[in-house]
Amino acid sequence: MPSPLIDASQAAWLQGPVSILIATADAGGLPALGVGLGVRVSADLRRITVFALDTVNRQILDDVRAGRGIAVAFTHSGSTRAIQLKAPRAVIAALEPGDPARLDAHAASLAREWEGQGQTPGFAHAYLVRAPGTVVAIELVPEAAFEQSPGPSAGIALGGRP
C-alpha cells in the first residue's frame, strides 16, 4: 500500500482555520463548486472527509453519487497557503458522533482567523451556515495532492507522487 499523500503536519493544517472549496464536474464536463464546512482526516492520513450542506451542493453530491472525480482546495487566507487534493471518486459517508463539534470548532477557528484580518465577527459563521439543510460527509482517498500556494512551489506534488 502506498504511503499517504499528506503527513501529520499537513493533516493538522487542513483541520485548522482554512476555507474549503469542493469541485466536481458532471458527465458533460460542466463544473460545480461548493463550500466545505469542515474536514476530518483519518488516523492513517489516507481518508479525507469534507462536510457540505446538501441544499447548496446538490450538483456536487450528484457528481459524487455518479462516481465522478473530485478536487478539494484548502486555503489559509492570512498566508494564502493552499493545498489541493484530488480523487477519481468519493463516497457519501456517515457522520460520526464528534462531527457536529468538529464543525463548530472549524467555524470558530475560521471566525477568529478572519476577524484578525478585519472581518466582522459573524462573517465566517454566516459563510459556514448549516441551515436550512443537512450536513453531508463526503469521503475521498486522494490520489494526487498539490501545493497550490502562490509562488515558485505552486503545483508541486505532495507525497512524492505526480
pLDDT tens profile 68-92 = 999 999 999 888 889 999 999 999 9
Q: Would residue 161 count as lying in a domain? A: no
Q: Would residue 102 count as lying in a domain? A: yes
Residue tagged 509562488 (cell numbers): 151
- Indicate whether 149 pLDDT > 80: no
Rounded Cα distance between 81 and 141, Å, is 22
Q: Would residue 121 count as lying in a domain? A: yes
Task: Write the pLDDT tens digit of every residue in 56-69.
Answer: 999 999 999 999 99
Q: Would residue 83 count as lying in a domain? A: yes
Q: Mapping DSSP to helix (H, G, I), strand (E, B) and coil, where does residue 15 land?
A: coil
Q: What is the pLDDT of residue 160?
A: 53
Rounded Cα distance between 134 and 87, Å, is 24
Q: Would residue 134 count as lying in a domain? A: yes
Q: How many CA within 13 A on the CB side of residue 136?
A: 21
Q: Would residue 19 count as lying in a domain? A: yes
Supply 24's cell numbers. Answer: 466536481
Q: Would residue 3 count as lying in a domain? A: no
Q: Would residue 21 count as lying in a domain? A: yes
Task: Write the pLDDT tens digit of every residue in 20-71.
Answer: 999 999 999 999 999 999 999 999 999 999 999 999 999 999 999 999 999 9
The band of 18, judged by pLDDT with boundaries at 50, 70 and 90, is very high
Of the candidates 76, 74, 67, which has an alpha carbon nearest to the alpha carbon of residue 51? Answer: 74
Q: What is the pLDDT of residue 162?
A: 46
Residue tagged 487534493 (cell numbers): 85
Percentage of the chain modeled with pLDDT above 70:
94
- Using CA atoms, how far residue 22 sits from 60, 73, 103, 120, in Å, is 8, 7, 16, 25
Identify the CATH number of the domain in which residue 60 sits: 2.30.110.10
Q: What is the mean pLDDT of residues 14-18?
A: 95
First to last CA, the chain: 17
Supply 78's cell numbers. Answer: 492570512
* Domain span holding position 119: 8-147
Query: Which comes out higher in pLDDT, residue 3 or 142?
Result: 142
**Within the chain, where are the H helices?**
8-14, 58-65, 99-115, 123-127
The mean pLDDT of the chain is 91
- Indicate whether 156 pLDDT > 90: no
Domain count, the chain: 1
